[in-house]
Structure 1
Amino acid sequence: MLNLMPSLAGWRPAASGERCAVATIITASGSVPRPPGTSMLVSESGEILGSLSGGCVEGAVVASALEVMADGGTRLEAFGFSSEDAFAVGLTCGGELEVHIQPLDGSAAGLGALRKFAGGDPERPLALIRRIDAGSGKTELPAVVVVPDPGSFRAAESAELASLLGLDALNLDAEAWREALLAAAAQLEPLLRGGRTGLVRLAPAQGCSGVPARGAQGTEGVVQPTEPVTLLVESRLPQARLLVFGANDFGAALVPAAKLLGYRVTLCDARPAFSAQERFAAADEVATGWPHRYLAAEAAAGRIDSRTVICVLTHDPKFDIPLLQEALELDIAFVGAMGSRRSHRQRIDGLLEAGVAPERLARLHSPIGLDLGAVTPAEVAVSITAELIAARTGAAACIPLRDGSGPIHSLPAGGTEPAISHQPALNKEQASQEIAWT
């Protein structure tokens, strides 16, 4: 549902408090147009905000949404491709979707909880937690819990989450209440802090046999259902950072390629004459300073987190060794360094001499990139970003260069050396800006 937040403030039915239903993709497999978490709003007057599939299933979803608003229940609809029925509602691309549809009114527990966060900065941290099991249709439960700061959310301390889980209606002592929230926290918080979308299934707080619960007037004896509680978690964090160390041709090619993947990119180099070049203007930040000192300062300031990526392209031991020594001590997503297999062996020797533990060295992606046969800076940038995607998704279809053998670069068919641009020569004024290597 986070995909709707930028447009929600200007949507007339939301502004007027009109009853709506929200349809959300909760599982997807195969080739599908949109990922889990994508939502579409349908008002009782038939107005629509958002899209789930680009047209394949929208008509059927709208019909179900109107029925949900009429009967007040929830629905779970499945859509796929049917080769037997040419007129069946489904996805022509061959994928499969499960779509959860639930009513959402204009109250403080429904759309009202979202409106104050609508239309804001799309990079602002925000998370939504919704209950989508059969119990989610209960009118006494909130429709959504809004988490303004996913990185610091403490599930065990959230009264709103306890209400969403229905703990208010159960005869639980303080210890059982806390255990239920801690069980939720163990699954919720990694998704929230990782900026990810996913389903969380929790065993009922009352256990398998059920626990007597209070009725509407506080009477005892109502046994709650024992089916799992299912939560849909959507979390959005600021852009993950990618730090490129090395103001050279390869850095110039990697900066825009990394931005295409959604990273906030910083280019850092110790040499002002190189880092100041216009070709690095696409970077979100350009820093001039010794790489290891810059990284240490950023980590101390709390601007490095578990999603941060570091790509070392300096190809110079006086930069690489202290920088990698610093980087390998951090809890980050990826550390990679460019170079030949010979320079990689020398780099490993240097890091071992510097006191880096062998288990830390196992985290180093060196030589960086997938084995695509890349030669030019642009091709190397594709190779590096390909490995970043593979590392992030866990895909193993291609071989990282660090796991291969033989020459990294080979000549194309015909044996002609490819044209590679080189660093422009420095004039005297630029050369005078070079720092002294001490």
Structure 2
Amino acid sequence: MNEAASILSWLGAHRDFALAVVTKTWSSAPRPAGAMMAVAADGEVIGSLSGGCVESAVHELALDCLATRRAATAHYGTSDEDAFAVGLACGGQIDVLVTPVLDGAQASSLRIYLEAVAGAQAAALALELPGPTEEVSGSLSGPSRSLALDEHGIVHGDFGHPRLTEHIATDAAAMIAAGSTGTLEFDDTGRRLGAGTRIFVTTSTPPPRLLIFGAIDYAAALAELGRFLGYHVTVCDAREVFTTSARFPAAHEVVVSWPHRYFAAEAAAGRVNDSTVVAVLTHDLKFDVPVLLEAIRSEAGYVGALGSRRTHAQRTDALREAGAAEAEIARIHGPIGLDLGARSPEATALSIFAEVLAEVSGATGASLRTTTGQIHR
């Protein structure tokens, strides 16, 4: 059971607990803003905020928040030379909000958000942070007020003033669209130029897509790794005998169709964007060229094609004959993947996603021991 589903099970059982959320990070913090950890009154824990560096301190704070029924914030920085000091050995820093979740409005908004996370749907969760007058104590007078915005844009919960609620919901919707997480500030009536009411908003967005064209053994390995990395995976091929769910159990969708027709329909429907990964694995020109022509003219963020250098040269010649411009052809990562010495389908899948991750992040793909500067961009 994943983290969201586990916390949902506590909500379903009407179990009181404290929710800890990372609200801000600096430098090499291990987990991003929005990461969650839940602590029940008996000490049971779901999730993690730092991979083990500050969990004990957050656990203690969470139990205190449950006892006092008040939300609180804490900052954790780099641990000092004392091996027992609380801090992040990685050199990062994080701010954490801890709030009691008691059966009521807050539990309802959290449930809406976590159901969206578990279902890979768009949503936002807004949580109240201490304002300037409360920052010294780092606590609120009660649980953090909250609001959820679901995939249909429906608001669940309120912050007491109609304009404040409206502005939080409007800004949260924009953050969903941008896939961003952060802190908003208003006055207590919702004026954006005001100050004093600080709201942390974390968002859930649909997962990026991995479109695999070619129902071959390499596709099965790539589908499994893509699903593990959080992609929504589709395998598509025109050959019905090979394109079955039994052969690709890790894929969310297995589609029997000519690849270029399927891709064109998905792009026309707005389901291809800059987070979409396209992997063309058939190395058969009658399949490859039409779908690659569609892909390089789309918004897809990564387009790769499997095959030898000779095969890729034939592909690019055929694409030129089909009217592709040099700049369009240059978008293709072919032969696909990084030079890792991969031969098996599983190792090749790793090579492909190593290149995808480097491309998405703008990283070099070099060994970290030969580089300098921050590890996490």
Matched residue, 2:80: 82
Q: Distance in 1 between matches of 2:203 and 2:306?
A: 35
**Number of the residue aligned with 1:430:** none
**CA distance in 1: counterparts of 2:317 and 2:258, whole angstroms:** 22
Q: Structure 2: how far apart are the matches of 1:304 and 1:27?
A: 30
Report the equivalent of 1:57: 54
> Are 1:5 and 1:117, in contact at CA under 8 Å, matched by a contact in 2?
no
Q: Structure 1 residues 9 and 268 mapped into 2: Cα distance closer, same or farther (>3 Å)? A: closer
**2:312 is the alignment partner of 1:310:** no
Report what 2:123 is aligned to. 127
Count of residue correspondences: 357
- Structure 2 counterpart SS, 1:50: strand
Unpaired runs of at least 5, structure 1: 171-176, 192-196, 211-225, 400-438
Report the counterpart of residue 14 of structure 2 in structure 1.
15
Q: Quick check: 1:104–1:143 contact (8 Å CA) kept in 2?
A: no
The answer for unaligned runs of 5 or more in structure 2 is 368-377
Alignment-derived partner of residue 189 in structure 1: 177
Residue 121 (structure 1) shift:
8.5
2:163 to 160, 165, 168: 168
Partners of 1:299 and 1:39 lie apart in 2 by 34
Query: Displacement, 1:89?
Result: 1.9
Instruction: Assess, with a 3 A threshold, how the Cα gap between structure 1 residues 291 and 5 changes in structure 2: closer, same or farther.
Output: closer
For residues 152-200 of structure 1, give each alpha carbon's deviation from its aligned partner in whole angstroms, at most 9, with x where no partner exists.
54xxxx7669x55967369xxxxxx87x976665545211xxxxx6324
2:286 and 2:120 map into 1 onto residues whose CA distance is 38
Deviations 1:77-112 (A, max 9, x none): 2143222x232123456654332223444331x113
In the alignment, what sits opposite 1:144? Answer: 146
Residues 393 and 244 of structure 1: is their aligned pair in 2 closer, same or farther, counting only changes over 3 Å?
Answer: same
C-alpha contact 1:29 1:96 (8 A) present in aligned 2: yes
Rate the CA distance shift 1:112–1:282 in 2: closer, same or farther, 3 A.
closer
User: Given residue 190 of structure 1, which amino acid in structure 2 is its aligned partner?
Assistant: A
CA deviation string 1:266-311 (max 9, x = no partner): 3323334544696545544433332212323444566545533210
2:181 corresponds in structure 1 to 198
Match of 1:394?
A: 362
Partner residue in 1 for 2:295: 327
**CA distance, structure 1, for counterparts of residue 110 and residue 276 of structure 2:** 29
With the length of structure 2 as denominator, give the TM-score of the two structures. 0.74
Q: Quick one: distance in 1 between partners of 2:220 and 2:60?
A: 51
CA distance in structure 1 between the aligned counterparts of 2:79 and 2:298, rounded to whole angstroms: 46
The DSSP-based 3-state class of the residue aligned with 2:76 is strand
1:392 Cα deviation from its structure 2 partner: 3.0
CA distance in 2 between counterparts of 1:257 and 1:280 reads 12
1:287 maps to 2:242: no
Encode CA deviations 1:325-371: one digit per residue, 9 max, x unaligned.
22223333322112344443443343344333455444332332112
Partner of 1:350: 318
How does 1:353-368 map onto structure 2 within 5 Å?
Answer: 353-368=321-336
Number of the residue aligned with 1:25 = 22
Give the % identical residues: 38
How much is the aligned-residue C-alpha RMSD, in angstroms?
A: 4.2
Q: Distance in 2 between matches of 1:63 and 1:281?
A: 42
CA distance in 2, matches of 1:203, 1:120: 26
Separation in 1 of the partners of 2:164 and 2:113?
A: 29
Asked whether the 8 Å contact 2:124–2:176 carries over to 1, the reply is no
CA shift, 1:384, in A, is 0.7
Question: Are 1:380 and 2:341 an aligned pair?
Answer: no
Change over 3 Å in CA distance of 1:332–1:227 after alignment to 2: farther
Residues 251-290 of structure 1 aligned to structure 2 (within 5 Å): 251-275=219-243, 279-290=247-258
Structure 1 residue 111 corresponds to structure 2 residue 101: no
User: Is contact 1:26-1:37 (8 Å) kept?
Assistant: yes
Change (3 A) 1:88 1:105: same
* 1:246 CA drift (Å): 2.0
SS at match of 1:25: strand
* 3-state DSSP of counterpart to 1:11: helix
Higher Cα radius of gyration: 1
Q: CA deviation at 1:386?
A: 0.9
Say if 2:4 is the partner of 1:36: no
8 Å contact from structure 1 (residues 60, 89) kept in 2: yes
Distance 1:262 1:120, change over 3 A: closer
Q: Write the distance in 2 (CA, Å) between the matches of 1:140 and 1:258.
A: 42
Amino acid at match of 1:232: V
The answer to whether the 8 A contact 1:9-1:119 is kept is yes
Q: Is the 8 A contact 2:19 2:38 kept in 1?
A: yes
Maintained 8 Å contact 1:40/1:48: no
CA distance, structure 1, for counterparts of residue 334 and residue 366 of structure 2: 15
Q: CA deviation at 1:34?
A: 4.3
